[in-house]
Structure 1
Amino acid sequence: MNEMFIDDKSKPIFAGMTLDYKNITLHYTVSGKGDSVVLLHGFLETVAMWKDLEPEFARTHQVVCIDLLGHGQTESLGYVHTMEDMADAALAVLQHLDIEKAKFVGHSMGGYVALALAELKPQLFDGLCLMNSTFEADDEDRKVLRTRANDMAKTNFENLVRMSFANLFAPESRISFKAQYEWALSIALSTSLQGYMAANEGMKLRPNRFEVFKSLSAHKFVIIGKKDTLINREQLVKKIANTDIEYSELSEGHMSHIENKSELSYLLLHFIEK
């Protein structure tokens, strides 16, 4: 099934498609021609997060953006979506498109999904960029927070999403990028309760995948926001020292595609073309 993906200004951006998968609908977009680049969004996001970056990449590459389980126009499978579940769904799209090799960029939860896919199908990867993401598992404190969030979601979902979303940005960014912040928040608020809870449970269950990342025979790159409160910067940098994993730091928070858009674009273009 073909459709057009529409942005907030009601202008068609690129062709969207759906795939039947385990009795649900998977939504994805494809644009451009050339070597494949796969973009995986984060928690409470959709393919729309790539709307400013995708056209740049599509000048020289085939760009595939996938709505992960319970997000955007992709339906939920249950009340727990493990990162492996999401990776299997993404793999179904790539197999449908006959993609045998690609460079992957995963934002936040999208990075966790990419790592699960790398463990399953390492031969798929020509490169992997963890964008505001990590190979570490949740620590015990974060697991407790996720459990509390899912309990709260049942009775106060909108306020929970608003509160969770605010923490993704550096404080000053909520003011400096007010329009973009409100737009991204509106997308977050469109996430279903089931999609929220299932992804949160899945992230809580994910294992540490440092060895998967380190051993991957592909270009490996990490993008870190200096003000990102969700990622343990010091631990991450220390862990990748003396490996072939490259990293760059940006000045702001977790939402680099909004807070550091031009710098991020430069880094990702370099990663994709390398």
Structure 2
Amino acid sequence: MIRHTAERTPAGTSYLATGEGPPVVLIHGVGLNKEMWGGQIVGLAPHYRVIAYDMLGHGASPRPDPDCGLPGYADQLHELLEHLQVPAAHVIGFSMGGLVARAFALHYPQQLQGLVVLNSVFNRSAEQRAGVIARTSQAAQHGPDANAEAALSRWFSREYQAANPAQIAAIRQTLAGNDPLGYLTTYELFATQDMYRAEDLGSIQVPTLIATGELDPGSTPEMAEQLARRIPGARVTVLPEQRHMMPVESPRMVNQMLLEFLATAHTRPNPIKGIVA
């Protein structure tokens, strides 16, 4: 992975930015941080200005207010773009980052050029909802790494885990090192906000890609299809034989998909100006 020196916004958000061209923002998943995007930074930076940051409660960014909700996470991205003097960007959100990206699209449409939601959740079934609520309770009782082994089994193929033990160990350490309160606040939103303003998703008017892995048990192809049906013109891509952490496990495949989408999306102007929902 290419190492960059992280910087901070006035509000304390830790971020890194590299490359030149149309700006692309990367939002990580719950329990992770901006370092998960190493493969995408390498693949996208020759063509785009890539901005990756630590979500509230993660990495070197501050804790969220306990009652800030998804709008507070959208506000964090707004403040980051204002600090960088970026009028509008393509936003790529992974898992929990996909919920943040959706919230940003609804609250700050004038700052959005394109939207990519990777391996994220929408309209969980009763069984899926019960499972994630149970994991939230375990995290509240035992800390951020309470479900680490089960999570890694969901996230990665057995072959990848066996071939990359050092990387798996590093991710396990990242999970364990999370601030407990920041992690729990974020995980509770991840567990409960899959239908956040679902009735308003039809207002999103930028090029949109919804993608997941064929074998992703928590962010299923069915979820991707349902979400895409709510957003006008959204595309759906299901990558074969991929599990949840496909940006890490298969960066070349994911990068090819992203580059193909961005090549067409960044040429289209943002039709929404000056509207804040």
The TM tier, using the shorter chain, reads 0.7 to 0.9
Instruction: Measure the CA separation in 2 of the matches of 1:197 and 1:55.
Output: 31
Deviations 1:109-153 (A, max 9, x none): 11100110110011211111111114x255554444444334323
Mark the CA change 1:142 to 1:83 in structure 2 (over 3 Å): closer, same or farther. Answer: farther
1:13 deviation in Å? 1.6
- Aligned residue-pair number: 260
Instruction: Measure the CA separation in 1 of the matches of 2:226 and 2:189.
Output: 26
- Please give the secondary structure, in 1, of the residue aligned with 2:13: strand
Q: 2:206 aligns with which of 218, 242, 261?
A: 218
Instruction: Measure the CA separation in 2 of the matches of 1:257 and 1:85.
Output: 25
Q: 2:53 aligns with which of 32, 54, 66?
A: 66
Matched, 1:262 2:262: no
1:159 deviation in Å? 3.4
- What RMSD over aligned residues (CA atoms) do the two structures have, in Å? 2.4
Moved more, 203-212 or 37-46: 203-212
Deviations 1:205-259 (A, max 9, x none): 4234545444322111011101100123224325635951112111210001122
Instruction: Measure the CA separation in 1 of the matches of 2:223 and 2:141.
Output: 35
Mark the CA change 1:239 to 1:269 in structure 2 (over 3 Å): closer, same or farther. Answer: closer
- Please give the secondary structure, in 2, of the residue aligned with 1:127: strand
> Match of 1:266, as an amino acid?
Q
Question: TM-score scaled to structure 1, two decimals?
Answer: 0.84
- Aligned residue in 2 for 1:3: none
Q: 2:134 aligns with which of 148, 157, 162?
A: 148
- Aligned residue in 2 for 1:92: 79
Instruction: Measure the CA separation in 1 of the matches of 2:64 and 2:235.
Output: 35
Matched, 1:56 2:43: yes
- Aligned residue in 1 for 2:270: none
Instruction: Measure the CA separation in 2 of the matches of 1:13 and 1:189.
Output: 22
8 Å CA contact 1:35–1:61 kept in 2: the answer is yes
8 Å CA contact 1:83–1:116 kept in 2: the answer is yes
Instruction: Measure the CA separation in 2 of the matches of 1:92 and 1:235.
Output: 30
Q: 2:234 aligns with which of 245, 248, 252?
A: 245
1:20 deviation in Å? 3.2
User: Aligned runs of 1:56-205 on 2, under 5 Å?
Assistant: 56-80=43-67, 82-134=69-121, 136-157=122-143, 158-205=145-192
Matched, 1:26 2:16: no
Instruction: Measure the CA separation in 2 of the matches of 1:264 and 1:77.
Output: 30
Gaps of 5+ in 1: 1-6
